Amino acid sequence: MEKHINFLAIGDIAIDNFIQLKDAHITCNINHENCELCLKFGQKVPYEKSTAFFAAGNSANAAVAASRLGLRTALVSTLGDDENGKYCLGVLKKEKINRKYINIDKKGNLTNYHFVLMYGNERTILVKHAPFEYVLPKKNLKVDWIYLSSIGEHSPEFHNEISKWLKEKLETKMAFQPGTFQIKLDSKFLKEIYERTEIFFCNKEESQQILKTEEKDIEKLLKGIHDLGPKKVVITDGSRGLSASDGVNIYKLPMYPDPNRPVDRTGAGDAASATITAMLAMGKDFKEAIKYGPINSMSVVREMGTQKGLLSKKEIEEYLKNAPENPINPIELSFKRCCSFLCFTDLGMP
């Protein structure tokens, strides 16, 4: 019986069905922001192909990433008592993830099934979370890190259960990568979650939603999230890379350079967040840990689906070792002597 878990992911599992569209167009505002996917209304819309991936979802993706990196990993979630649920369990077993804490719903709810509408190399995801109940492990389980992410809108009170559970596990650290519903929740409702968070992950637009602001300055957004309680904050900004803060210093890191166009960006954020958390769990310091995240993101977007491209620790370190000297779209770096991706803009907090 497993008594010690390095990485305990908490959140919903889903099947992602990728549907490649062929007859659509994109409409954006003058700043190429707030883009919308447009389809013909009231007509049959052809598509090229449909491919389903089992055991996906933010937390499941994170668990697979952590397991491949070498951590003892488990997942707290609930599946429907259906064939899709069985397929998901099979995938998690193959990925060497402890499934003891996954409930099987007996109320007739089906396993979550999401539709990923692909057009070009971007996607729009249609999501639906079943009203599942969740059960946390017994408190005698030793857990180094929990990784909390997307849970459905029916579950606000479950966050209070997590907070109570953590109060008796002071040695456990928490990473928080909020999903759609958690982002919409008032940060005051999640006050204890934010204050207990060791490291927080989101993208720029999500940070604006959480802080209810139109502020675009990343450094101010980092500070705003810090003020909610997290000790460390990582905000991604698409092709501009990531910005990270430990409350004293701000680090800016570009995307890992890749001459190939991305196939599918779904899961890139999960890969980066889980990888950085896993590196912290392995004892890396913050500045070193964040170097690993963009590499796993780069690998994931080379493949369709959220997990196929996830790397081992050895594979990531090989990329670090061979980082090219002339990155694509590099950010301006403050160090006089640096080697592309391996260097940071290292700033004090504002």
pLDDT tier for residue 263 given thresholds of 50, 70 and 90:
confident
**pLDDT (mean) for 15-40:** 88
pTM value is 0.89
pLDDT at residue 327 tops 70: no
The CATH homologous superfamily of the domain defined by 4-22+47-348: Ribokinase (3.40.1190.20)
Q: What angle do CA 39, 117, 204 make, to 5 degrees?
A: 105
**Residue labelled with tokens 């979630």:** 77
pLDDT at residue 211 tops 60: yes
Q: What are phi and psi of 47, to 5 degrees?
A: -135, 160
Secondary structure, 3-state, the chain: CCCEEEEEEECCCEEEEEEEECCCEEECCCCCCCCEEECCCCCCCCEEEEEEEEEECHHHHHHHHHHHCCCCEEEEEEECCCHHHHHHHHHHHHCCCECCCEEECCCCCCCEEEEEEEECCEEEEECCCCCCCCCCCCCCCEEEEEEECCCCCCCHHHHHHHHHHHHCCCCCEEEECCCHHHHHCCCCCCHHHHHHCCEEEEEHHHHHHHHCCCCCCHHHHHHHHHHHCCCEEEEECHHHCEEEECCCEEEEECCCCCCCCCCCCCCHHHHHHHHHHHHHHCCCCHHHHCCHHHHHHHHHCCCCCCCCCCCCHHHHHHHHHCCCCCCCCCCCCCCCCCCHHHCCEEEECC
pLDDT for residue 343 = 53
| 196, HSE (Cβ side, Cα atoms, 13 Å) | 24
| Tens digit of each residue's pLDDT (9 = 90 or more) over 143-193 | 999 999 999 888 899 999 999 999 999 999 999 999 999 999 999 999 999
* Encoded tokens for 136: 């946390």
Could you tell me the maximum CA-CA distance found in the chain, to the nearest angstrom?
A: 62
Cα separation, 48 vs 50, in Å, equals: 7
pLDDT tier for residue 259 given thresholds of 50, 70 and 90:
confident
Q: What are phi and psi of 148, to 5 degrees?
A: -95, 130
Mean pLDDT of the chain: 90
Q: How far is CA 120 from the centre of its chain?
A: 22
pLDDT at residue 337 tops 50: no
Least confident of 262-266, 273-277, 343-347: 343-347
pLDDT for residue 329 = 36
pLDDT for residue 344 = 56
pLDDT for residue 335 = 28
Q: Sketch the domain layout of the chain as residue ranges.
A: 4-22+47-348
CB within 8 Å of 100: residues ≥ 6 apart? 2, 74, 137
pLDDT for residue 331 = 33
pLDDT for residue 350 = 46
pLDDT for residue 346 = 55
Q: Taking a C-beta distance cutoff of 8 angstroms, is the pair 345, 249 a contact?
A: no
- What percent of the chain clears pLDDT 70, i.e. is strictly above it? 91
Cα separation, 96 vs 107, in Å, equals: 28
pLDDT at residue 3 tops 90: no
